[in-house]
Structure 1
Amino acid sequence: MPKIVKSFFPLNGLRNYEGVSKPLLAVQVTELVDGFFIGCTINHCVADGTSFWHFFNCWSEIARNSDSNLIVNKLPVLDRWFPEFVVSPIHVPLSKEHVHDEFDLPLLEERVFHFSKENIAQLKAKANSEYGNDQKICISSLQAVLAHLWQSVIRCRCGTNADEKFSFKLLIGARPRLQPHLPEGYFGNAVHFVNVTTTAGEMLEHDSGWVALQMNKVVSTQTHEEVMNFYQSWVKNPKIVKKSEVVANTLIASSSPRFDVYGNDFGWGRPVAVRSGAGNKHDGKMTIFCGVEQGSIDIEACLTPETCWVMEGEYGVMRKLIICKSYMVDKSDNKNLY
């Protein structure tokens, strides 16, 4: 991904807690030689991905249909929701450690890995045939893809030992889990992280289906009761997450392939691509988007150059093997050698 893309986004380097005095939303439109780049930054304390794309798509609908009879298809629900046990406002302590949470980030690269509909179906079918059906577990397409990518990153990282622990932070949406559900169009932040933890040795001695199963088990525990327990414990001990606390041996998946990122049109035509800015980027950050082709997924991976180089080499070899596979035949019994 070209380095210049980050400059197309406003408010780079601003922290969420600075929203008490800094803008909560900023938009920058950059005119390119052959189109426009709309860079939008929003405070994550105010809105999550569901709310952001609802806002963005409603805005494009208004821009595209400027007549006085415009009716927005899905109006946002702006009423704030709090569990019954919460007394608002919640006072969050801010220590000097958070204000001065500065540390040297390694040189990072970003690559977009494209998974076609066929790729995803193969990964999902393989994972479920080995680990899903017998245990009445259904591993999702996204779990299968993320497990494949996580295993690839660990395998390609230099200097990793078998006993080293690794975590994958998955964002859990509370909207469909709460009882009753939050109303459709609820505008706010209704997500939290869960951790899937294992060692490099465990991960590499199993296939990606086993890794997907570990993700599935953790996600399946996120019931209404668990979500409420998370909120209760956070209210009792509110904490601002520091970037320096999550970068070590941690991959984080954000965004979702369910978001309608290609459905907007400001009057210039539909988007040709979607990319994220510099916010919350560190080694191991995975930003998930639906692909341009229906059923496909694009994952924007932020990694060290060394990991990127090894992964590119690995995937290059894999592609060559797949291309050559149909030509490498054992003539004695007419079977593929692989």
Structure 2
Amino acid sequence: MSGADPHAIPQARGHRAAVRAHGGQRMLLHLPAASVKKLKARANGEMACSATATISSLQAVLAHFWRAVCRARRLPPEHGTLYSVVVGCRGRMNGIPPGYVGNALVFGKAEATAGEIEEKGLGWTAWLLNRAVASFDEATMRESLERWVREPDFTYMDNLSSAGTALVTGSSPRFDVFGNDFGWGKPLAVRSGSGNKADGKATVFEGPERGGSISLEVCIAPDALERLVADQEFMDSVSTPAA
């Protein structure tokens, strides 16, 4: 075809329509380091008498996001909601070096009702995410890998996003995305590809000023996103930089 990009990778028939069908709208949300520290301190303070491990900065941020999205989606208090977080196997499984470049991850899942998340607070919600990450077990993971060889199974975004009630987060603020230089100079902004554009997907990056800041590239239904950015409790910790 005249003018076609000779380097383009052909898409499977119907692929782009499937991406649009997820019905999400994208927005970048930014939390400066000071906001991240406050959320972490608040979450750990709320759980000081019962938690047996420290809630991380990312877990506190994701808990803040989860609670706000439940409100933005107007989920009934008794409605169940699920948050799937990607847990990296590097450093958790023997034989996988820190510099391994392939996919080495498993999903940790936290579940609660929308009412519990709202009523029990930031710390309790962050603790659910903390326990989801801590649930990683190397022996179970190895059994799963051996079973996969016999019975291959693939995970798709549709399996992780459930009718406007679930959230999924991948990537990590620990990745040095702004330190990359491919000969064009340092990055000014970082975004994910079309495979991450599904209702309920939130991709994490370090913030552009680094130093503990966090950016969330979120994709949720347009009406819910409109309510999310109008939620004063949520937006007190968040800014929305230009796309």
TM class, shorter-length: 0.7 to 0.9
Contact 2:32–2:214, Cα closer than 8 Å, also in 1: yes
Match of 2:73 in 1: 157
CA shift for structure 1 position 134: 4.5
Q: Out of 236, 252, 259, which is 2:175 matched to?
A: 259
Change in 2 beyond 3 A, CA 1:251/1:115: same
CA shift for structure 1 position 144: 0.5
Contact 1:131–1:137, Cα closer than 8 Å, also in 2: no
Match of 2:41 in 1: 125
Match of 2:113 in 1: 199
Partner letter of residue 309 of structure 1?
E
Match of 1:167 in 2: 82
Match of 1:234 in 2: 148
SS in 1 for 2:67: helix
Using structure 2 for the length normalisation, give the TM-score.
0.82
Aligned length: 224
Partner letter of residue 127 of structure 1?
A
Partner letter of residue 83 of structure 2?
F
CA shift for structure 1 position 267: 3.2
CA shift for structure 1 position 131: 1.2
1:191-228, CA deviations, whole angstroms, 9 ceiling, x for partnerless residues?
12121111112111111111110111121121322322
SS in 1 for 2:177: coil
CA shift for structure 1 position 182: 1.6
Match of 1:215 in 2: 129
Larger radius of gyration: 1
Change in 2 beyond 3 A, CA 1:309/1:135: closer
How many angstroms apart in 2 are the aligned matches of 1:198 and 1:11?
A: 41
- Runs (5+) with no aligned partner, structure 2: 1-7, 237-243
How many angstroms apart in 1 are the aligned matches of 2:59 and 2:10?
A: 30
CA shift for structure 1 position 317: 8.9
How many angstroms apart in 2 are the aligned matches of 1:183 and 1:106?
A: 35
SS in 2 for 1:279: helix
Match of 1:325 in 2: none
- Runs (5+) with no aligned partner, structure 1: 1-9, 16-98, 320-338
Q: Out of 83, 92, 97, which is 1:177 matched to?
A: 92
Contact 1:251–1:285, Cα closer than 8 Å, also in 2: yes
Using structure 1 for the length normalisation, give the TM-score.
0.60
How many angstroms apart in 1 are the aligned matches of 2:49 and 2:202?
A: 28
1:248-281, CA deviations, whole angstroms, 9 ceiling, x for partnerless residues?
1221101111111011223332111101121142
Instruction: Give the CA RMSD over aligned residues.
Output: 2.6
